[in-house]
A and B are shown apart, each in its own frame.
With several copies, the nearest count.
Chain A
Amino acid sequence: MYSEKVMEEFKKPKNMGKIKNPDAIAEVGNPICGDMMKVYLKVKDNKIEDVKVETFGCVSAIATSSKATEMIKGKTLDEALKLTEKEVADALDGLPPIKMHCSVLAVKAIKKAIEDYKKKQLCRNDL
């Protein structure tokens, strides 16, 4: 069912865990669907210095959260915001059609975290 890349990513997922004192946090998904992700960001000079993710979810949820976080690490916030679900899925040689919603989730979590960060920055600048 899954591509080899998905399986590899799932076998050794990257960036799993928490960041202490993160600059931003976002949580998406809900327990009814069985997928929940929490993304932690550390930002420096508008770049994603570090990113971690905690995932309750299936193989593709874990694999996509690993792959998506890898793909944005070191990028500027604006670059990271451009990440699409398709790019994540493609980087994993595709996902089974029924599992595409998992790649949506990972990207959604990242975007939410970045937007959250930007909002906070705005507020700070306003001070």
Chain B
Amino acid sequence: MIAVDKIYLDNAATTQIDEKVLEEMQRVALENYGNASSLHSLGQNALEELEKAREKTAKLLGCKASEIYFTSGGSESNNTAIKGAAGKKLIVSAVEHPSIIKTAEFLKENRREVVFAPVDEKGIIKLEELKKEITSETALVSVMHANNEIGSIQPVKEIAELCGEKVLFHSDMVQTAGKLEIDLHKLNADLASVSGHKFYGPKGNGVLYIKEDTKLDALIHGGGQENKMRSGTENIPGIAGFSKALELAYKNRETEMQRQEKIRDKIIQSLLEIKKSKLNGHEKQRLSNNVNFSFFGVEGEALITMLDFEGIQASTGSACSSKSLKISHVLKAIGLDHIWAHGSLRISLGKNNSEKEVEVALEKIPEVIEKLRKMSSVKI
């Protein structure tokens, strides 16, 4: 399957599906292929499979089954949450994923009031400034649980409290589901988004948590599936795979996260030894699997590509890597200088990464940076 010489360090972008998940999906696809809206037994068996997956997911996320709505992924969940909430003013953090930022910008163009709440230089939201922005006109606040680029973990508990009972609080938990403990009822979030392919589940499958009695417009209308909130024939094999993957992730969460954290810290130590290098994001309040560095005088796309020649697969927030040729809005929001931002490298670990692989990567990375710096017109 995966070529032995490849070292995949891009698990925040997506993960390889777990074979156990794939087997579960295959079983459901062949056995319970009915349409859950069909009255006959094949349909009813499919419905049962669906509700079992919903129960399982709810339990793992600390909410009721009736509060779990299956979607086609994180982007759809985020769009539904942001577009579905009626009301005048929206506040989203400046470091949200594009599926929040672009949606907010779209609404802004369509006569809604939108505020992008600032973060500090480590990517953590400025609570005081957020508090000032929350007024009686505010319909919804959206702040992600942890950032996909720099891994900074947000104080969601405090934010939920700031929102209180009157303002909806949505949190994009795409990068934390399966990695951090999530108890939606305890957190008192109103809305939360999760995506399966970030924890060895299937792509194209996600969840939107909607707290009981929360009023939200559907994004996709039709046959009335998912309690009228999300129409379309349910992708039950995918949903079964999603819940299975989430279950597997939580089964072994603590040990696995400790293992990754150890590797992460080793990488950070090692990369700090490179001259004119710098860690982006928070040192402690950060995802166990995230490393984000900047190397002065090196451009990210070139760095990623040259690392790829060595079999190392990572990512960057460089402008040249994006379709818009703008540097990552996250690196901009934490106030990183352009040259530094262009030279960013994200390494995101996963359960399949061995210490050995990481050692190899840590040998190659300084070599590649050295090589690019030699060619560069920006001298360190």
Contacts and interface: CB of A to CB of B under 8 A. Distances in A.
Bound pair: A and B?
yes
B17 to A, nearest CB: 24
Interface stretch (B70-78, B87-95, B201-209, B369-377): B369-377
Contact of B377 (A7, A32, A56): A56
A6 to B, nearest CB: 10
A27 to B, nearest CB: 7
Given A10-B302, A56-B297, A36 B338 contact: no
B375 A58 contact: no
A13 interface: yes
Given A56-B342, A62-B302, 10 more contacts: A31-B338, A31-B378, A32-B338, A34-B299, A36-B378, A55-B377, A58-B321, A59-B320, A62-B375, A98-B323
A11 B106 CA distance: 40
Contacts of B347: none
A57 interface: yes
A54 interface: yes
Contacts of A17: 374-375
3 smallest beta-carbon distances between A and B, as pairs: A58-B320, A54-B377, A58-B301
B319 interface: yes
B308 to A, nearest CB: 10
Given A1-B44, A57-B320, A98-B323, A34 B377 contact: no
A43 interface: no
Contacts of A31: 338-339, 342, 378
A1 B327 CA distance: 19
20 contacts: A1-B47, A10-B305, A13-B375, A16-B375, A17-B374, A31-B338, A31-B378, A34-B299, A34-B338, A35-B320, A54-B375, A55-B376, A56-B298, A56-B299, A56-B378, A58-B299, A58-B300, A58-B301, A59-B301, A61-B320
B30 interface: no
Contacts of B327: 34
Contacts of A98: 323, 325
A57 B309 contact: no
Main secondary structure of the interface of A (DSSP, over half): mixed
B302 A57 contact: yes
A62 to B, nearest CB: 6
A99 B299 CA distance: 14
Interface of A: 1, 7, 10-11, 13, 16-17, 27, 31-38, 54-62, 98-99
Interface string B338-380: 1100100000000000000000000000000000001111100
A33 B319 contact: yes
A16 B298 CA distance: 15
B318 interface: yes
A58 B321 CA distance: 8
A56 B44 CA distance: 23
Contact of A34 (B44, B305, B320): B320
By CB atoms of chain B within 10 A, which of A33, A55, A59, A60 has the most? A59
Contacts of B378: 31, 36, 56
A95 to B, nearest CB: 12
A11 B371 CA distance: 11
Interface in B273-320: 297-302, 305-306, 309, 318-320
A56 B376 contact: yes
